[in-house]
Structure 1
Amino acid sequence: MIPIDLTQLSMIVVHLVVFTVIFLESGVLIGLVLPGDSILFMSGLLVARSGSVASVVILVALVFVAAVAGDSVGYRIGRVVGRRAVERQSQRPRRQRLLARAEDLYRRHGWFAVVIARWYPWIRTIMPLLAGIGRMPYQRFLPANALGAALWGCGTVLLGYYSYSIPGLYQASLILMGIAILATLGYLAAQRWASRTSP
């Protein structure tokens, strides 16, 4: 029987979960409600706790690949499907306001908007679609995509990793992560209930 290292197994699970969440949130519309920032920071804390330098190197690499690939998929959806893909997810007033904000950001900043949108939940999910809809050349989109992925994705993981040494931050982050997950589930439940009860 081959022995199983549960510590390594748990780190593999962390890596897979983070990769999946960041890929979905970065450019696939079902990622609109995923708490990407919290998961990135928390994953950095978790790999710091494991004491493995290799784990954080692998995690940072996976986050970078997931963020770049997710945005690239979102860009392609925007090019192929067009504005309908965004508008279907923007029927509610709050989402319409966020869509207008993202469009204004893209109109004013162009290439740089793809970078700075990473720090805005929901907007970072639709910005690649807007770039695709706007026919931004992919050779211009990709460097902005990669820079945003490195600064936001890898940077947030490393922030969590190096913050592990601050007393009490690990426990506080666990609590905040739980709140973020519960808030996300509550939001999904409220949206589902509202869609069923609306005329």
Structure 2
Amino acid sequence: MEKMFTWKDLLNPMFYIVYGGFFLLLFIVFAETGLFVGFFLPGDSLLFVAGIYSANLIENLFKKIGMGNLHNEWLDLFLLIALISIAGILGNTVGYWTGRKIGPTMFHWRDRFLFKKKYLYDAHEFYEKHGGGAIVFARFLPIIRTFAPIVAGIVEMDKKKFSIFNMIGCVAWVFSMIIAGHFLQKWILTQFDFDLKKHLEVIVLGIVIITTAPVLIKLFSGKKKEKVSTPPIK
């Protein structure tokens, strides 16, 4: 009996790997960083699980392009990291150019409840000082990695600077997640006879908690500081 689709499947990395395979994986990485609506997609956990299933993904890819079994462990990892990195770099680039396109008009918008021109000037100053590091570290933070390249485009971060740190950040993110998934699975299976493939729900939950914790801590600590610094109304 076939499993019925539910909306929560969209947050499950195994859904994309089982039903979409390698090419859907590439699109998800692209969409999470290149499209506004991609912020909810499972980037970190998807790459980690892809590392666990790296051999299966590349084997299926080779079969589709007629190369049979002409692959090995290191070639699998190299191709997986290289192709996913390209998808991520292109995604960030699309996000950046989208921001460049809409950015100039935003500086003429009127201040609203959710929009203040001051935020744009603050973001511009931030990217001038820390833009490269922001683009790199944003890769490792869910939701933020979706909007970081768009904001960089809006505040007109230098194109060359963005491109360099875009590539550095993407390769570092993809490499660390794929390698962690692949070799952690092998090591734990060898040392403890514990198969991560049978406990992916727990692994994915752990990754989500680890990657979102810094964002939540920063968010709530920022609110507390704001309350403390606000003078009492007389």
Shorter-chain TM-score range: 0.5 to 0.7
Cα distance between partner residues in 2 of 1:128 and 1:171: 33
Q: When the two structures are superposed, what TM-score results if normalisation uses the length of structure 2?
A: 0.58
> SS at the partner of 2:157?
coil
Corresponding residue number in structure 2 for 1:164? 185
Q: RMSD between aligned alpha carbons?
A: 3.5
Q: 2:29 aligns with which of 14, 22, 31?
A: 22
Q: What amino acid sits opposite 1:47 in the alignment?
A: S
Q: Which runs of 5+ in 1 are unaligned?
A: 1-9, 86-90, 94-98, 181-199
Cα distance between partner residues in 1 of 2:195 and 2:85: 25
Cα distance between partner residues in 2 of 1:142 and 1:28: 18
Indicate the structure with greater helix content.
Answer: 1
Q: What amino acid sits opposite 2:196 in the alignment?
A: Y
Corresponding residue number in structure 2 for 1:152? 173
Does 2:181 align with 1:174? no
Does 2:86 align with 1:68? no
Cα distance between partner residues in 2 of 1:34 and 1:84: 29
How far residue 108 of structure 1 moved from its aligned partner, in angstroms, is 5.3
Cα distance between partner residues in 1 of 2:43 and 2:199: 14
Relative to structure 1, the CA distance from residue 146 to residue 158 in structure 2 (aligned partners, 3 Å threshold; closer, same or farther) is: same
> SS at the partner of 2:142?
coil
Pairs within 5 Å for 1:75-90: 75-82=96-103
For the Cα contact (< 8 Å) 2:29–2:91, is it kept in 1?
Answer: yes
- What whole-Å deviation, never above 9, does each CA across 1:146-170 have from its counterpart, x for those lacking one? 0000111222111111112113251
Pairs within 5 Å for 1:29-48: 29-48=36-55
Structure scoring higher RCO (CA < 8 A, sep ≥ 6) equals 1
Relative to structure 1, the CA distance from residue 122 to residue 82 in structure 2 (aligned partners, 3 Å threshold; closer, same or farther) is: same
Which structure has the greater CA radius of gyration?
2
For the Cα contact (< 8 Å) 1:75–1:128, is it kept in 2?
Answer: yes
For the Cα contact (< 8 Å) 1:45–1:160, is it kept in 2?
Answer: yes
Q: When the two structures are superposed, what TM-score results if normalisation uses the length of structure 1?
A: 0.68
For the Cα contact (< 8 Å) 2:128–2:157, is it kept in 1?
Answer: no
Corresponding residue number in structure 1 for 2:146? 125
For the Cα contact (< 8 Å) 2:45–2:204, is it kept in 1?
Answer: no
Relative to structure 1, the CA distance from residue 84 to residue 46 in structure 2 (aligned partners, 3 Å threshold; closer, same or farther) is: farther
How far residue 82 of structure 1 moved from its aligned partner, in angstroms, is 2.5
Corresponding residue number in structure 2 for 1:5? none
Sequence identity, in percent? 29
For the Cα contact (< 8 Å) 2:103–2:155, is it kept in 1?
Answer: no
How far residue 14 of structure 1 moved from its aligned partner, in angstroms, is 2.8
Relative to structure 1, the CA distance from residue 179 to residue 114 in structure 2 (aligned partners, 3 Å threshold; closer, same or farther) is: closer
Q: What amino acid sits opposite 2:100 in the alignment?
A: R
